[in-house]
Chains A and B, each alone.
Chain A
């Protein structure tokens, strides 16, 4: 399977600042990347789907101006949480796929907004 990295692995920021999270596919041409959010002891919630070179498609209820996603290449996607607030604190996980069904997940980024 694909090897996926995320950076940073955890981040603490002040309320009102923006935070960028990177997702890299290290050995795999990822035509599609997904961003999920996971609350403690809960399942994953899909936030958005991004195809390389295209605008991301956001799930219902996810603010696109709040969670900016860029998928500029086949190996890199970024999620920027703009003007972060404490309620944005969560575990953010990306996944990649080559256009088929199996998704390969990154290790996750834990965000804490103070």
Chain B
């Protein structure tokens, strides 16, 4: 089956530190991969995505590269800000029943950035 394993949190960093949140996946076929971010009390926002091997998704200084050989999609940011404090979810997309794409999520990683 499909599954996503995400780095356990919480992660606490100081402002301007380097961020890595690890994500690995198990899937049949070639899924698309996503990172979503959830700010306190809110729904999920799409942060970035990659649809095929070696693709790099990027947005707001965050990056992740689809690595088929290691089945990974690690999230990185060179210099985090206090406003990046949130829960980050890694997810993969798979075709269910030949008709709808569904998402399988990791458990989420809470990031706290201190000034």
Would you call the interface of chain B mostly helix, strand, loop, or mixed? strand
Cβ distance B32 to chain A, nearest Cβ, rounded Å: 5
- The answer to whether B107 and A43 touch across the interface, beta carbons within 8 angstroms, is yes
Q: When A42-B107, A44-B105 are in contact, do A93 and B89 touch as well, CB less than 8 Å?
A: no
Q: Mark A42-54, 1 if CB is under 8 A from B, else 0.
A: 1110100101000
The answer to whether B34 touches A49 (Cβ under 8 A) is no
**Which residues in B have their C-beta under 8 angstroms from that of A93?**
43-44
Which residues, 57 to 115 on B, are CB-close (under 8 Å) to A?
89, 93, 96-97, 99-103, 105-108, 110
Q: Which range holds the interface residue count of chain A?
A: 20 to 34
Q: Could you say which residues of chain B place their CB within 8 Å of the CB of A89?
A: none
Q: Given A49-B100, A51-B100, decide whether A43 and B44 contact each other with a Cβ distance below 8 A.
A: no
List B contacts of A103 (CB < 8 A). 46, 103
Among residues of B, the one whose C-beta sits closest to the C-beta of A92 is B43
Q: Which of chain A's residues have a CB closer than 8 A to the CB of B99?
A: 51
Report the 5 A-B pairs with minimum CB-CB distance, sorted nearest first: A101-B93, A105-B44, A105-B43, A108-B43, A107-B43
Verify A108–B106 contact, CB threshold 8 A.
Answer: no
Most buried by A among B44, B49, B96: B44
Which residues of the other chain, A, contact B105 by a CB distance below 8 angstroms? 43-44
> Residue B2 at the A interface, CB < 8 A?
no
Interface membership of chain A positions 1-31, coded 1 if the CB is closer than 8 angstroms to chain B and 0 otherwise: 1001010000000000000000000000000
Q: How far is the CA of A57 from the CA of B99 in the complex (A)?
A: 12
Beta-carbon contact of B44 and A97 below 8 Å: no
User: How far does the alpha carbon of A53 sit from the alpha carbon of B81 in the complex, in Å?
Assistant: 44
